[in-house]
Chain A
Amino acid sequence: MNRESISDIKPVVNESGIEIRPVYTPEDVAASGGSERIGMPGEFPFTRGIHRSMYRKQPWTMRQYAGFGTPEETNGRFRYLIDNGQTGLNVAFDLPTQVGLDSDDSLAEGEVGRVGMAVDTLKDFEIAFEGIDLDKITVSLTINGAAPALIAMYFAMAEKRGYDVARLRGTAQNDILKEFIGRGTWVFPVEPSIKLVGDTILYCAENAPLYSPVSVCGYHIRESGANPVEEMAYAFCIAKAYIDHVLARGMAIDDFASRLSFNFDIFGNLFEQVAKFRAARRLWATILKEQYHAADPRSMWMRMIAGGGGAGLTVEQPQNNIVRGAYYALVSALSGTQTMALCCYDEAYTIPSEAAARISLRTMQILMEEIGLCDTVDPLAGSYYVETLTNQMEERIRAVMAAVDAQGGIVKAISEGRIQNAVSRQALDRVRKLERGEIRRVGMNCYRAEEDEERPIEFHPFKEEVAAEQIVRLDRIRAERDNDAVRRALDRVQTDADKERNVMPAVVEAVKQYASVGELTKCLVDVYGRYEEPVDL
């Protein structure tokens, strides 16, 4: 190799701050920490994947985010996606539901059913999942601030339809700490918010041991401005905060750690993302084994949904987003994901159209069926470049985690708004780099065209009458339900919260009596108060 000519070329540094060489050799792998810790798929430290035969045995689950309007409309979209081969559901809730308000709350005005499905009571869950086989289709609930109530509704709905909750699979996002950094559907202050996550973990470990009560999200932290290393580091710090909380309440690590899962973001440099996931999988397994003394290998698995990130897509020339989505899906498959979801090409503008949602689904199916991605586990293993980068990414993720711990830990950092400030500064920096063309985006800051102003997007027709329909249904339920039983159940929720007991048994009982999301949230707010957001710039 001619080292002289290489030294003349322009240096390249990836988003995580690692300088990228034009050529990698076995010496680079050795210098970065060697290849001893690559191991085999399905074996500690799981660098190459959590399962031995991965997609040979079972391809990734396809789980597009969907939900809008009434539960009836959402049920229609669910059936459409399932009819087209989707293998899991990922439910989008409207904003009032996400922040614990009923559809008739004055603060919900204008927002009912707009960015997701409206839910007030168990009735809405019964309608939304009608005709869907919960044994075949696993359901993920994208809910955080109001997670206890909605997890309870899912269990109550399943039980009512004759499913055994003890055998029920599925996932709730329920990662409140990242909501304080990005996405913003918090309700309660930081400490009681963590306590509620703990309540759901403990309740599920006992009553629904196959259900994943928390999906810790690096995704939204990255979207908010973090780089790929920080995405993993902050997510791991957050996951550790939940683990520490649950351990402090007396549960053993192997009784719940295997049900924790993760949600990560994909956009940007392909090799950096693949290395990020391989490094993180190895690091998470090591943390569980060495710091928490887990014995069950499943406790050490970094199970994940990894999908196409919105921050990589462009408003300009939106059809280019179809191509980007395909590359992100490729990265996801090359990284050994368990579940995949892609942002639709029109998602920067609107609720995805049926056609756009189907293109995302077909993208994943083409990858699965046509190009050989399922044949071999971790096909990039052994690449000098990927293995070097995997070692380097792991080292950097460790360093960021250590820095967070050195400053008092993630809970303190989030409570004081420090992480929020850091990522939002970086978000501005990212926008400036895009404006200067230092980060290239085709159709946005290069290869623009005059006709770009005509954007071939079909806007989702928002129905103003959704709110009225929801309110009529809620009024009818309030008139028909046993209001004494509801009152007693809500009183128990409040008492249990007040006495620092696990609120989940009482919440489940209350939703079975058709208590509403807003009523349950109010009970908890009365005890815990509301979060006060730090707003310094």
Chain B
Amino acid sequence: MVVDRKIRVLVAKPGLDGHDVGAKVVARSLKEAGFDVTYTGLRKSPEEIVRRAVELDVDVIGLSLLSGSHLPFCRRLRELRQEHGLKDVLLLVGGVIPEKDRQALKDLGVDGIFPAGTPLDSVAEFIRTNVS
């Protein structure tokens, strides 16, 4: 039986970048929108992010990346998602994501890309539409 529960979201800051204004803004806005949100804090490895995602049984992982290292991280995350059976978890990426890299990110299994300037409500809406 499926228990009716809030959609669970893990907002994560991979890598060494400490600029977390955006990650926290999105996390807070999703919490206000009624989701069950956990924020990882800074400097999380792909391994740690996946471990937390499994532990919390989340529906969505949202990564905030500003330093330009989004491709290597998402590459590693793809392997880990497959390893840990997280293929049904929605993977979102936000931050400084140049247009030229967006197709490559989608090819790595990223479901939604929300570059800086995206309206906050559209993130919530995307999650509601795409988490089944």
Write the residues of chain A forming the contact surface with B, with a CB cutoff of 8 angstroms: 95-96, 98-99, 101, 107-111, 114-115, 179, 182-186, 223-225, 314-316, 348-350, 424-425, 427-428, 431-432, 435, 444, 459, 462, 533, 535, 537
Q: Does A184 lie within 8 Å of B25, measured CB to CB?
A: no
- Kindly report which residue of chain B lies nearest to residue A536, judged by CB atoms: B39
Contact of B16 among A107, A427, A537 (CB under 8 A): A107
- Kindly report which residue of chain B lies nearest to residue A462, judged by CB atoms: B68
- Kindly report which residue of chain B lies nearest to residue A315, judged by CB atoms: B117
Write the residues of chain B forming the contact surface with A, with a CB cutoff of 8 angstroms: 15-21, 24-25, 27-29, 31, 37, 39-43, 45, 67-69, 72-73, 96, 98, 100, 115-117, 119-121
- Listed by A's residue number, 24 A-B pairs whose Cβ atoms lie within 8 Å are A95-B67, A99-B43, A107-B45, A110-B69, A111-B15, A111-B67, A183-B19, A184-B17, A184-B18, A184-B19, A223-B21, A225-B21, A315-B116, A424-B25, A425-B28, A427-B24, A428-B29, A431-B25, A432-B120, A435-B121, A459-B98, A535-B41, A537-B27, A537-B28
**Complexed CA–CA distance, A421 and B119 (Å):** 22
Interface of A is mostly: loop
Contact of A315 among B16, B29, B42, B115 (CB under 8 A): B115
CB neighbours of A462 from chain B (8 A) = 68
Q: Does A108 lie within 8 Å of B120, measured CB to CB?
A: no
**Complexed CA–CA distance, A428 and B123 (Å):** 14
Known: A98-B16, A111-B67. A428 touches B25 (CB 8 A): yes
Known: A111-B69, A431-B25. A444 touches B41 (CB 8 A): no
Contact of B119 among A315, A349, A435 (CB under 8 A): A435
Across chains A and B, the number of contacting residue pairs, with CB separation under 8 Å, is: 92
- Kindly report which residue of chain A lies nearest to residue B97, judged by CB atoms: A349
Return A489 CB to nearest CB of chain B, in Å.
26
The 3 closest A-B pairs by CB, nearest first: A184-B18, A95-B16, A110-B72
Return B18 CB to nearest CB of chain A, in Å.
2
**Complexed CA–CA distance, A284 and B43 (Å):** 35
CB neighbours of B68 from chain A (8 A) = 114-115, 350, 462
**Complexed CA–CA distance, A110 and B18 (Å):** 15
Q: Does B69 lie within 8 Å of A184, measured CB to CB?
A: no
